Structure 1
């Protein structure tokens, strides 16, 4: 046995160093000193009480502000043309039918500034993931050939020359652009002529959005915007080319301020902001207060709303609305946000009351314990 042990060769074990092992320092091994606050009722009470009072006060002021706003809504879904008697509900194809509807509106109160005009849709799901993703930010910034992400509306055959060309603007969200137009007229007595209420697009879209996210393609001095869009085709649901989008088509539109053409059109920019809920409203125009007789807003009285009905809704059973609102500092007449603030504030105040009872109970028990020790 001893001889076998002498003849045995001992091979030393080779130990490898661990790779990428961090250094044994306080920073690498997370041993730095740190504050570990222990929350209790006594330290949480000032926080919940302050937040509860602040939320309650904000909610009350927002609710009172919403009560001081005025709003008029007109449901013009499936309206009938007074002259031709055509209507989408009767099966007339929109917009070939050229339906023009007229609605009387009575303002019982003076609508002070700011007065805004909205259009609304009910039952339109802009929040679909595939719908929202079907767009090209690069194309909207002037690169017409970049249609990545616009599936299934990226390319289409141009009927004029049977050549496949990129759609401008491409994507489903641009193809479904809302194109109803509105005009508001005063309805005075027989001795006073009717006048057009001035609309403006100033302030609807910030300059940052228009400059950084939307841009028309470049074109030469002797060319037009339509020349810049040569080599593209309009979306299949559009009735006019994108280069003429925003150009006046009626006498009423020609009298108003320009709303931008092409990719810089205000209506296109507003529509490309997808809504979160199936019932939504989007801003259409703002009352132009620089015009005489409208510097203080819309006076109470009778008005006539003229709707150029171009947007079909029968296929998806939707509804369309037109809103006139006189907004306050907190926005429109929607009280949902104000009620939410008040509910959160009352909840935090109730939590603060519970914390206060807990603090009093702890003090009472400590006092009894001290008195028992002294006896």
Structure 2
């Protein structure tokens, strides 16, 4: 008599025989588009966008040449974009004033430029996280020469020799006339966005709070995958020089012990800029606050 063997046939149940009832929706424009619109409305962020491009030419010139008493005027409505439900409460004005550049961009402490002061009303309290972006238009970071104008090994901290830099993609921002290597080399780094955005200060609020600074952090604004691409340079100071558009930040246009090259491993504004945009109109993250409400009121 043959030994009895156990059957490997699955049990005759709906689950094991794949007879469970299933719903297979048919996706059509009539069903998909309303769903997208509803989700977009639910998760639409509150946004206030102020274009200060013409602040220097349209805002009044203060009587005091040093700008001690700025004169504010209403910002034209065409420079203001808002997604708040009630736009009538939003008031924006601007003025210009002469101030010294911040230490990072003014190492000698003697360079002064016109600053644009913006006052705006925040009609509603913003729950965290709150983000600050800057936006550029007609800036073609996607140009084929521009987008590859960097040296990946140099950005990783390696002391890439001048001959290798010259043979790479950094031209014309590769090696200076003095034979020193431009660090960081390439068109992308040279054209880094260099406006300085200060944290807004709450001037007046319905609760009575005044002169309270709302702080935006520049930590964790770059993608984690991008942070891995940047390390502190191994070049010695006598091997390198700043990019042409950075020269004004450094005395005599050179790196020194007192004014060393930037630490791109920790400079997340630089890392964000180096991730090139695919379209000529784009925005990039400047800072964020993930813990504190931005209460409604008048800010500057």
Question: Cα distance, 1:171 vs. partner?
Answer: 0.6
Partners of 2:32 and 2:159 lie apart in 1 by: 48
- 1:216 pairs with one of 223, 232, 239: 232
- 2:188 pairs with one of 161, 169, 173: 173
TM-score by length of 1: 0.51
Provide runs of 4+ in structure 1 moved above 4 Å.
51-54, 94-97, 241-244
- 1:119 pairs with one of 122, 134, 156: 134
Q: CA RMSD in A?
A: 3.3
Asked if 1:202 corresponds to 2:257, the answer is no
| Greater Rg by CA | 1
Question: Cα distance, 1:268 vs. partner?
Answer: 0.8
TM-score by length of 2: 0.63
Partners of 2:128 and 2:290 lie apart in 1 by: 10
Q: Bigger relative contact order, structure 1 or 2, given CA contacts below 8 A and separation 6+?
A: 1
- 2:125 pairs with one of 106, 110, 122: 110
Figure out how many residues of one structure are paired with residues of the other and give that number. 217
Q: Secondary structure at the match of 1:269?
A: helix
- 1:261 pairs with one of 263, 284, 288: 263
What residue in structure 2 maps to residue 302 of structure 1? 298
Give the direction of change, closer, same or farther, for the CA distance of 1:143–1:51 in structure 2 (3 Å limit): farther
Partners of 1:141 and 1:243 lie apart in 2 by: 19
Cα-to-partner distance string for 1:35-88 (whole Å, 9 max, x where unaligned): xxxxxxxxxxx9881465874464134322244x211111111323756489xx
- 1:240 pairs with one of 237, 245, 249: 249
Gaps of 5+ in 2: 1-22, 68-100, 106-110
Q: Which has the higher helix share?
A: 1
Q: Secondary structure at the match of 1:151?
A: coil
What residue in structure 2 maps to residue 185 of structure 1? 201
Partners of 2:33 and 2:114 lie apart in 1 by: 49
